[in-house]
Structure 1
Amino acid sequence: MNYFDYYKKTSKDSSLTTTEKCGRYLNQSVDELNIFDDIYSKLPALTRENSLIIDIGCGCSDPVKKLIENSYTYKNNLVLVDSIEMLSLLPEAENITKVGVQFPDKSFVETYQNKADAIIVYSVFHCVYLENDFITFVDSLVTLLAHGGTLLLADLPNATKKKRFLSSEQGKAFHKEWSGNEETPEISWNQFEAGSLDDSLVIMLMMRYRQMGYETYLVPQGEQLPFSNTREDILIRKW
């Protein structure tokens, strides 16, 4: 499945809400309203005047709309990267540059290398992981960072975290409420699961960029976010 092309199609589907166009369930539209606040709390550059902020796979729903509003308030320079179809659903402004490419695009990387004060990649990495060279993807992202810049690689669906959650009493209760039945979810540990993003991959990414001289941090999502029980974020900072 080509996710970039898939979301091109959803962006043009008038029967979908903006929440659904970006791959979330309709009943998560309220929880989605909290996403930007979580991003905001992790990226201080969003409150600094003239910061260069890049959002890769920005979508068209509430989080990017709030990012745009924030850029007006703090006079950020905002670069939004997605398909032309998705970007057409967002407003135009002097401080906003829309780039209709699939990242990593060679010309884009060359243009913004060493310039970004903050990079947002929210709920995108797992799509790249399933169909592209995810190492080149993240390597290209970190080359965009200016000194003191931060990459937020966010909303990573961690299969091992999900198992830990569903093994807990809280997770079992959540599953019963969500599924509508009394069955206890089956959890299989130490089992090969092709294509899953798990603890080993998350920790590998953190170690990879630490060894390259960056600081990396594994940070939780706020409980009010749509997938907070099973997802987490990585912060990568350049000195």
Structure 2
Amino acid sequence: MNQNPDFERFQNLSFEDFKTLAKDNSLSQYQKIGFLNIYREGKEKNIFQDIILKLALENEAKEDKILLDIGPGCSELPLMILDLCKDLSIKPILVDSKEMLDQLPSEGVVKYEGYFPNDVPTLISDYQNKVDYIVGYSILHYVFYNTCIFKFLDVAVSLLKPGGKLLMGDIPNISKRKRFYSTETGIAYHQKFMNTDSLPGVNHLIPEPTHIDDGVLLGIVQRYRNFGFDACLLPQPSTLPMFNRREDLLIQKY
């Protein structure tokens, strides 16, 4: 049992829930995006560096490049991404609720208010086959819980130009979590973090329909490979807060 009373508050959030969190000034910038402070405070620079590495953002010519950030939230991470875009002359596009976007800079930024893809048809029509980089960090599990994950991904990859990359980062994988907490290392991690002598609750044979698992992620990889994309799962470095339970999805258009 998790001993932090805020843990349940930030589970299985909807788009409307995030709009409510964004307006709650009693919350930290990390709580507004659905995280306990311990998971993000002081760690977003490492996340940012990992995004740069996986998208090779500093290794390519940047003339006329476009970066789309889906669900950026309102913490330090989108500010770092916007600063990088400015430094590298990349055009940044953000799509999120008005409540989140209002807390981010507007100068030099194209903003679309609403839920992707349902609420932003203009974005989709205007940027078909034109986007170089798409980032969706810590959002895919909410898409999976609330709507059709394949509609979301199909529309997102339709925006990529040849050579364009889509990074869905920080995906909780319940299968990976169960594997980790079934090991001596995972048990020790759980007991130290929770300050308990109890074992983590792990049952490999129970379906968990609200969670992304190996089957979902490997199915996504196979699906988009079958569509002619390059697709793979990438591990997170140990500098990230939940690297032992999460992984990243990279899809590139040839």
Amino acid at match of 1:100: E
Amino acid at match of 1:91: P
Amino acid at match of 1:216: A
SS at match of 2:189: helix
CA distance in 1 between counterparts of 2:244 and 2:135 reads 21
CA distance in 2 between counterparts of 1:192 and 1:85 reads 35
SS at match of 1:18: coil
Compare 184-193 and 51-60 and name the one that shifted more: 184-193
1:6 deviates by 0.9
SS at match of 2:176: helix
Q: CA-to-partner distance for each residue in 1:170-204, whole Å, 9 max, x for gaps?
A: 11111001111111113212322222210000000
1:2 deviates by 6.2
CA distance in 1 between counterparts of 2:110 and 2:125 reads 16
Task: Answer yes or no: is 1:7 the counterpart of 2:21.
Answer: no
1:4 deviates by 1.1
Aligned length: 238
Compare 21-30 and 76-85 and name the one that shifted more: 21-30
Amino acid at match of 2:98: I
The aligned residue for residue 47 of structure 2 is 35
> Taking structure 1 as reference, are residues 155 and 183 closer, same or farther at Cα in structure 2, changes over 3 Å only?
same
Task: Answer yes or no: is 1:71 the counterpart of 2:85.
Answer: yes
> Taking structure 1 as reference, are residues 85 and 236 closer, same or farther at Cα in structure 2, changes over 3 Å only?
same
CA distance in 1 between counterparts of 2:82 and 2:22 reads 18
Amino acid at match of 1:214: F
The aligned residue for residue 68 of structure 2 is 54
1:226 deviates by 2.0
Residue 106 of structure 1, aligned match among 116, 121, 130: 121
CA distance in 1 between counterparts of 2:78 and 2:13 reads 22
CA distance in 2 between counterparts of 1:187 and 1:92 reads 45
CA distance in 1 between counterparts of 2:165 and 2:57 reads 8
**Structure 2 gap ranges (5+):** 1-11
CA distance in 2 between counterparts of 1:154 and 1:221 reads 9
Q: CA-to-partner distance for each residue in 1:51-95, whole Å, 9 max, x for gaps?
A: 10000001111111100110111011000111111111111222x
1:157 deviates by 0.6
Compare 149-158 and 186-195 and name the one that shifted more: 186-195
CA distance in 2 between counterparts of 1:184 and 1:166 reads 9
The aligned residue for residue 170 of structure 1 is 185
Q: CA-to-partner distance for each residue in 1:95-121, whole Å, 9 max, x for gaps?
A: x11111210133321111101100001
Residue 146 of structure 1, aligned match among 136, 161, 164: 161
Residue 228 of structure 1, aligned match among 243, 251, 254: 243
Runs of 4+ in 1 over 3 A off after TM superposition: 45-48
Amino acid at match of 1:228: F
1:46 deviates by 5.6
CA distance in 1 between counterparts of 2:58 and 2:162 reads 15
CA distance in 2 between counterparts of 1:7 and 1:19 reads 12
Question: Map of 1:127-206 to 2, 5 A cutoff?
Answer: 127-206=142-221
Length-normalised TM-score, structure 2:
0.90
CA distance in 2 between counterparts of 1:186 and 1:124 reads 25
